[in-house]
Structures are given as C-alpha cells and as structure tokens.
Chains A and B, each alone.
Chain A
Amino acid sequence: MLQITGLAASIDGKDILRGIDLTLPQGEVHAIMGPNGSGKSTLSYVLAGRDGYAVTSGSARLDGADLLAMTPDERAAAGLFLAFQYPVELPGVGNANFLRTALNAQRRARGESELDAVQFLKLARAATKQLSMPDDMLKRNVNVGFSGGEKKRNEVLQMALLRPRLAILDETDSGLDIDALKIVAEGVNALRGPNFSALVITHYQRLLDYIVPDRVHVLVGGRIVRSGGPELAHALEADGYAAIAAEAA
C-alpha cells in the first residue's frame, strides 16, 4: 500500500508539489488527472527518486517503508516501477540483456535466486506473446529505433517481467494509437490483483476506458483538488479542468 502524506517538493527552488495526500490501498488502481504543469510527472519522479527534486516536507511510504529514504534501485527492489513518459534509449545494450540484468539485480536485493538465461528467456517470450510483441523486440537495443508506440509497449513488457507491487504509469497513453492503447491497457489489467496497485497518470480520460480505475484524483497546482470514482474522469472530459479547479477553489 502506498501512503503519501503532505508531500511537497520543489525543483531549482520552484515549488511544484504543494502538499499531496493520497492513499492507494493494495490491489487498487487510481488515476491521477490534471492539466499540463500541474505536477503529475514531478510526483512520479519524486516517488521514484530522481535526482534534482528537493522534498521540502511530507512523507511517502510503500508497505510501511520510507520510500524517500531509499535510492532509486532500492525503491525498484521494494516493488516500485515507473513507466516513463519518455522511455530512454540505451545504445548497444540489448533489451533482453537489460531486462535480465534488472530483474536479477532486484531478485538479488530481495534475497531471491537469480534466473539463468534459459529461465529468463522463457519468461520473456511468454510476456512478449501476451503483449502481441514480436520476439525480435528482445534482441534490439533498449528503445533504440523504436517507434513511440513500441517504446510504450516496451515499458509495459518490462513491467510485466519485473512484476512490481506498485506501478506508476506516467502518461503512458500519450502518443499511442487506439490499438497500442488497448495492448498497453491489457498489459496493466493482466497484472491487476490483490498484490498489485497502480497509479495511472494521464491527461485524457480515454485510457481510463480501458483501465478502469477504482478512484480518480484531480491534480491542479501541485495539490489534489478533488477525488472521486471513475465517473469523475467523465465529468472532467465534459467540463474541463478549469471548471473543476474553480469549483475546488
């Protein structure tokens, strides 16, 4: 379970998050919606531990452990996964190799046995098949020469293999056509269950037709101004963020 309390953060002295309170119970999927510049991506980076963000107050706990005190790789081993809005290219690094190195690093950190190449490939092939991805995606260099849609699918493939307890999807729907969107949504839905929770960050309601959230939170100006059920996403789509923000103020 993720528990965020009074979280405030700034970058280069500029306040971006101004006191976020959010509880994401185990097994639930919550959506965070908000206009550009509201702090959505900052929230995901602060939770994942990216350098350059100063947490000025508040806390974030994953299953009771203090996330903010951990290095990014410790957070990953604790079960936090961030699907990047702009997945990064790693020239010369094979996708399968990268994934296996990452998976084994996490397993090692958790005191689990590492997977050998054969065990890993079996898992990886099953995952690519489920996501309707060609096998050669594993052989290519990480995100190098991938289309926008392929990059996002590659993020979902990584998520499927790393099996996080908490996934944060940072605008994973941006730049996806409807078919890719469905594949990504299926990937997330396949992981849903009592041991998986997700924070789906999105600008548009469209993705939430395929990943139906338990709760929707509206983030404006670094604060959550409104929370509700899935119907809130539809209201946002109809009335726009301005109306919600004005109403909340």
Chain B
Amino acid sequence: MQAVAETTDPVQALTQSGYKWGFATEIETELAPKGLNPDIIRLISARKGEPGWLLEWRLKAYAAWLTMTEPHWAMLAYPPIDYQDLHYYAAPKRKPGPQSLDQVDPELLRTYEKLGIPLRERAILAGVEPAEGSRQVAVDAVFDSVSVATTFRETLAKSGVIFCPISEAVREHPELVQRYLGSVVPTGDNYFAALNSAVFTDGSFVFVPKGVRCPMELSTYFRINARNTGQFERTLIIAEDGAQVSYLEGCTAPQRDENQLHAAVVELVALNEAQIKYSTVQNWYPGDAEGRGGIYNFVTKRGACRGARSRISWTQVETGSAITWKYPSCILQGEDSVGEFYSVALTNHHQQADTGTKMIHIGPRTRSTIVSKGISAGQSNNTYRGLVRIQPKASGARSHTQCDSLLIGEECGAHTVPYIESRNASAKVEHEATTSKIDEDQLFYCRQRGLSQEDAVGLIVNGFCKDVLKELPMEFAVEAQKLLAVSLEGSVG
C-alpha cells in the first residue's frame, strides 16, 4: 500500500523533464557498415566467435527472411522501413565480454547508474553490505549489440544456474544452445523473427537445472545507444523439471528524432512442473509529442510449456515505443500446464500499440488466464489482439480473458480483436471486455481531497491496472507505477 504514496514525489521530479532516459552516451562504438547481406551476417558471427553451425543457422534464417514480406495485419501505420539503411552491429569499443565489473568501461557503468539499474555488485565489491532483507537481483546489461556486464554469476553458479550473455552461452554451453535455440520460435516463424535469427547480436541465456529454484530474481537491461542501429537481442530461458525462475527485462533508448528498429526474440522452455515468470517493463523512447522519432518494437515472445503441470507467466508493462507489435504467447503442450498473460499497455501522443497474446491449448486440462489493461491517451491507438486456440486433444481446457480499455481524452482509440478457436467441445473459453473513459467524477473527487490533476490521473490509472501490477515483483511494481504516471504527463486537462 505504500507504493502509490511513494510515487508522487519522484513523479513530480520526472514530469519536469519528460522522457528522462533520453540521454545518449558518448562512447566509442564499433559499427558494422549499413545494410544486410550474407557478409554482414558472417561479420557478426565472426565478431561473436561463433561455431559454424550457428553461422549456418543464421544464413538459413536470412534466406527464409528474403522470401517473406513484412506483415501488415496489425492496426499500425508507419512509413516503410528501409532494412538496408541500418547498422546491424554496434559495440562499445573495448574487448566485449568483460570478466568482472572492473573491466567494464566506466562511461558505461555511469550510463547504467543514470538509468538506475541496480548493478549492485558494484556496491558489494566496494564492501557495502546489502540492507537487511533486501532482495538480490542479478543483472545482465546489454548495450546496443553486446552484453557488457552480468552480475552475481558466481552466486548463481553455486546453485547450478547459468545466467550469461547468449553469445557466451554459444561458446561455453553449445549443446544447450543448439538443443533449444529456435525450438520455440523457429527461424522462419515470422518476418521479424527470421530477421532476428539472421542478425541477433546479444541477449541473455538462462538455464535452471532440474529441481532448482533460482535463488534470486534475474534481470536484463537493454539499452539502444548508437544512432541508426537496430537492436536484435535474443533471449533463451530453460527451466528443467521442477525448476523455477523469475526474470525481468527493462528497456530504454536515447531520445532521437529518427526511428530505431528493435526486433527481439524471446524463447522460454518449461519442462515438467517447471515455472517461468517473465516480466517486462518496456520503456523504449516513444517519440515526442508530435510523433517524431521513437522505437519501432517488433518482438516475438513465446513460451513452451512442454512438461506436465508446467507454468509460464508473462507480465508486461508497455509504456514506450512509437510502434509496438508484440504478442507474448504460450504453447500449452504438457497436460495440466498453465499459461498466463498480464498486460498493461499505455499509449499517449501518437504512439501505436498492437499487442496481446496467443494461448495454444494442446494438452488436456491446460488452463490459460489473460488480463489485459489498455490505456489510450492523446491521439494514440491501442489494440488488444488475442488468440485462444483449443486443439482437439485439449479436453477439459479452460481459458479466461479479461480485457479492459480506458480512454483518456477524445482523440484516442481503443480496439479489441479477440480470436477464439475451439476444436474440443469439453473446453471452456470465456472472454470479457470493457471500455470506459476516465471519469470526471473520479477526477474531481481526488482533486477535492488535495491531489493535483496529474496525481489524480496517475492514481486512477494505477488502480485500473492493479490486477496486472500486482503480478510484478514488488520493486518493479513501484517502478511501473511511476512510469505509468510519467507517461500520461499532459494527457488530461
């Protein structure tokens, strides 16, 4: 209950400045030439010191990509993307893959410090004791195309958990990567996934062995810094039988007038009775109030509940990006497996979001829960697009969708596009949807009690999103609440 009260202060400080993560870091960057062709892919692969099979895998993806066309079924409007006008590799100049934080460029560390990323190992190295009872979070930080620091690796290694940049996993744990990479999102799955498979540069790799409960939250922080650069990270998380892990990603980018492309792929694999909780606080630069600049975010996230009684839970708070195209999904293969999707998508100014989920029920008695909260303000457009598919063998499957939209102002749009396909008569699929406007009575009530217009909007919106925010780990829930309030700055009155 402390969260919202604590929120108002920092929010007031933040609203003075708008997007406070918009600074760029002056750092020497190694850039590949613009454009995409097999030579660029060979260059990326060589820079990463990859084995031959992975280069072949990339080239195969590239060949598939060439035969595909960009999808345009989403409710999104944007000028054509020139895929040859981008850099596909950007790395801070210095040897990538530092062994400890001491070897990380201090300018980078200052950047992450400005962003408030808890590279807490820094403090521990400096001999500072962590506060009693404070939860430890291991962080992997990805700056443009490379991972620059992963913390707490040794602590994790003691329990058998592998948490490292995926480029390193390719070298150190090739058998795991080869077994699982592309097993959930195949190279030719869709246009953006194929592109990612061809040129992915870095991202995180997590492996939690049988029966291990990961002793701390894992977190990756993605930062696009370089100009005219695409970020194509690839994340792979594997939880073996009975393993449990909670993972969070955060993302920001400098404020730039041109658009930047982000096309990530995330694959999750949960074996028997494994549980993976994946939370995202996405705050890529959304563009300015007139719709200039901002990130184009085309992301494929998918989890496979392969084992019986496994569970995958996606929680996302999406406040950033000019364009969001993202449908974190669950393939519920194992019997009695559970998929969950909790989403807050907020759009303001000229932002466009087309986001939702896919729940594919394959195994018997599989269950899915979808809670989507869309908030539209300004001239933005916010679409929920969700598919619930019940396959013939999914006897006794259940799915429940709750999809709520909140409109702020007169010029924004909210759309709900549910697809329900049931091929098993014993399955039960429910879908509820509501659309409401932020209520003048609620605003006046809050203001009469002393809240400013913006704090009142923030409070009401946070209340609207509560069912989703409570799914986030505590410290991130607080961050997400602040973010929601800041993102709505100037949207009312």
A30-57 CB contact bits vs B (8 Å, 1 = yes)?
0000000000000000001111000000
Q: Is the C-beta of A156 less than 8 angstroms from some C-beta in chain B?
A: no
The reply to whether A72 and B5 form a contact with Cβ atoms under 8 Å apart is no
The reply to whether A73 and B452 form a contact with Cβ atoms under 8 Å apart is yes
The reply to whether A72 and B459 form a contact with Cβ atoms under 8 Å apart is no
Residues of A within 8 A of B446 (CB): 90, 98, 102
Residues of A within 8 A of B460 (CB): 90, 93
A84-123 CB contact bits vs B (8 Å, 1 = yes)?
1001111111101111111111100100000001000000
The reply to whether B448 and A93 form a contact with Cβ atoms under 8 Å apart is no
The reply to whether B444 and A50 form a contact with Cβ atoms under 8 Å apart is yes
Which among B449, B453, B466 is the interface contact of A92 at CB below 8 angstroms? B466
Q: What is the minimal beta-carbon distance from A76 to any residue of chain B, in angstroms? A: 4
Q: Is the C-beta of A9 less than 8 angstroms from some C-beta in chain B?
A: no
Q: What is the minimal beta-carbon distance from A115 to any residue of chain B, in angstroms? A: 9
Q: Is the C-beta of B450 less than 8 angstroms from some C-beta in chain A?
A: yes
A162 to B467: give the CA distance in the assembly, Å: 29
Q: What is the minimal beta-carbon distance from A46 to any residue of chain B, in angstroms? A: 12
The reply to whether B4 and A97 form a contact with Cβ atoms under 8 Å apart is yes
The reply to whether B462 and A92 form a contact with Cβ atoms under 8 Å apart is yes
Tally A residues with Cβ within 8 Å of B: 38
The reply to whether B445 and A87 form a contact with Cβ atoms under 8 Å apart is yes
A76-88 CB contact bits vs B (8 Å, 1 = yes)?
1100011010011
Main secondary structure on chain B at its contact with chain A? Answer: helix
Q: Is the C-beta of A147 less than 8 angstroms from some C-beta in chain B?
A: no
Q: Is the C-beta of A3 less than 8 angstroms from some C-beta in chain B?
A: no
Q: What is the minimal beta-carbon distance from A122 to any residue of chain B, in angstroms? A: 14
- Given known A-B contacts A92-B463, A93-B463, A94-B1, A103 and B442 have beta carbons under 8 A apart: no
Which among B5, B453, B467 is the interface contact of A100 at CB below 8 angstroms? B5
Q: Is the C-beta of B489 less than 8 angstroms from some C-beta in chain A?
A: no
A97 to B455: give the CA distance in the assembly, Å: 13
A90 to B463: give the CA distance in the assembly, Å: 7
Q: What is the minimal beta-carbon distance from B409 to any residue of chain A, in angstroms? A: 15
The reply to whether B466 and A101 form a contact with Cβ atoms under 8 Å apart is no
A234 to B326: give the CA distance in the assembly, Å: 68
A64 to B188: give the CA distance in the assembly, Å: 73
Residues facing A in B450-472 (CB within 8 A) are: 450-453, 455, 459-460, 462-467
Q: Is the C-beta of A195 less than 8 angstroms from some C-beta in chain B?
A: no
Q: What is the minimal beta-carbon distance from A136 to any residue of chain B, in angstroms? A: 13
A106 to B448: give the CA distance in the assembly, Å: 10
Q: Is the C-beta of A202 less than 8 angstroms from some C-beta in chain B?
A: no
A82 to B460: give the CA distance in the assembly, Å: 20
The reply to whether A90 and B442 form a contact with Cβ atoms under 8 Å apart is yes
Residues of B within 8 A of A139 (CB): 1
A101 to B12: give the CA distance in the assembly, Å: 13
Residues of B within 8 A of A103 (CB): 450
- Given known A-B contacts A90-B445, A91-B463, A105-B455, A117 and B1 have beta carbons under 8 A apart: yes
Interface, chain B (partner A; CB < 8 A)? 1-5, 8, 439-442, 444-453, 455, 459-460, 462-467
The 6 nearest A-B residue pairs measured at CB: A92-B463, A92-B466, A102-B449, A93-B463, A76-B450, A106-B450
With A73-B452, A91-B463 given, name 20 new contacts (CB 8 A): A49-B448, A51-B440, A51-B444, A71-B453, A72-B444, A73-B447, A76-B448, A88-B442, A90-B442, A91-B464, A92-B465, A93-B459, A93-B462, A96-B1, A98-B446, A101-B4, A102-B446, A106-B449, A109-B450, A139-B1
